[in-house]
Amino acid sequence: MLAVVAVLVLGCIGFAVIASNAAKTVSSTVATTVATTAATTTNTQPQSSNGTWTTTHTFTGNGTKKTAIFSVGSDWKIVYSCKGMMIAGTATDGVLSVSVYGSDASILDPAAVNATCKSGAALTKGETEEHQSGSVYLNINGTGDWTVQVQELK
């Protein structure tokens, strides 16, 4: 009888240690994921001690626009804002897509931006970083008003 009690006690202690270690692992994973997500979605400050993000081109419109060809370095980003539109007096979500092309019309990034622009007073905002240098142009397609900026690390 004493042996059975001893086995049960040791089994419970072992289970408690395993559960405790599993809880620590889950807690660590959750904290890491939250920190990574927060940094990705909120970081608009310089990402390098080598410079500051500087707006070099700004495009605004409603509808479709192909930009002029411009030159970029190997680290640049597209920063955008957009909002939905009114259709027959009803606020409706819109869309914004931006594709990056080389000056020779080769497609470099077919879906650099693919956003749903929410209806209402607040703007939908976002950014995406690009890593190809050279002469490029943007093909911007949007419903509702949009602004697209090109920023380079200077």
Q: Report the domain count for the chain.
A: 2
d(CA 149, CA 82): 12
Domain span holding position 33: 1-42
pLDDT at 49: 59
Q: Is 76 left (phi over 0), alpha (psi -120 to 50) or beta?
A: beta
In a domain? residue 135: yes
143/94 Cα distance (integer angstroms) = 5
In this structure, the answer to whether residues 32 and 86 fall within a common structural domain is no
User: Which of left, alpha, beta for 49 (phi over 0: left; psi -120 to 50: alpha)?
Assistant: alpha
User: Please, what are the averages of pLDDT over each run of 10 residues along the chain (154 residues)?
Assistant: 40 40 36 27 48 96 97 97 92 96 98 95 94 97 96 93
Q: Is 48 inside any structural domain?
A: no
Residue 107 sits in the same domain as residue 142: yes
Residues 102 and 143 in one domain: yes
Q: Output the pLDDT for position 122.
A: 87
One-character DSSP codes across 76-144: EEEEEEE--EEETTEEE-EEEEEEEEETTS-EEEEEEEEEEE-SSSSPEEEEEEE---EEEEEEEEEEE
> Is 142 in the same domain as 66?
yes
Domain-located, residue 47: no
In the block, which residue shows the tokens 């202690």? 13
Instruction: Name the pTM for this structure.
Output: 0.67
Q: Is 121 found in the same domain as 94?
A: yes
